[in-house]
Amino acid sequence: MNQFLLLTVNPYDVFDNNGKTPENPVEGIFKAASDISVWVDVIDTGATVLAVLFLVSFLVTILAATFKQGQWKKYAQVTALSTFVGTLTLRGFPLVMLSIPTLKQADAFLDLIIIVLMQCILFVALIGLAVGLLLRFGHKLIEHPDFYKNYRTVTTVSIVVVLFSIIVPTIIS
């Protein structure tokens, strides 16, 4: 208590450390930041908060569907999706960071992610082309104008996605 009354106390009494070096007040922050148990507690608390938000968003989704409130349902669904992705990121990021020891391996890991995403995009685009052909077949069968409109849209978007998914990653990397 006497340490806060600097004007009324002898300064040598306030700063007397019995011959020891004075303590650095920032040292505790750096010690906590480098302690793994602190980070485990932070990640665990963050995951718990995200789990609570996830459950609340589903409660709001159910109530919004019951009372036919579209805007609240949209907010709740976006919150549920965001908390799900956040939880996966919060739990997965430390494992990924600890499993990649060098920068060269991190670069190889990112190249692998690019290749996997490019293959997924190509696969989905090829499925889109197949759906477009199916819609064209439906148009030929019953000559419904919506089938032809959807055929053109799906086929065009699939072709553009295939071209971009092949050209853009090779230009960037």
Residue with tokens 């990121």: 89
Mean pLDDT (whole number) for 12-37: 64
Please indicate, yes or no, whether residues 93 and 169 belong to a single structural domain of this protein. no
Percent of the chain past pLDDT 90, that is, above it, reads: 15
Please indicate, yes or no, whether residues 84 and 108 belong to a single structural domain of this protein. no
pLDDT at site 32: 67
Q: How many domains is the chain built from?
A: 2
Please indicate, yes or no, whether residues 144 and 70 belong to a single structural domain of this protein. no
**Mean of all residue pLDDT scores within the chain:** 81
Range of the domain at 141: 102-173
Q: Is the pLDDT of residue 161 over 80?
A: yes
Mean pLDDT (whole number) for 93-117: 82
Task: Report whether 157 contacts 151 (CB < 8 A).
Answer: no
Q: Torsions phi, psi of 16, nearest 5?
A: -75, 120
The angle subtended at Cα 84 by Cα 79 and Cα 89, nearest 5°, is 125
Please indicate, yes or no, whether residues 126 and 165 belong to a single structural domain of this protein. yes
Residues composing the chain? 173
Q: Which of 64, 99, 134 is the last residue of a domain?
A: 99
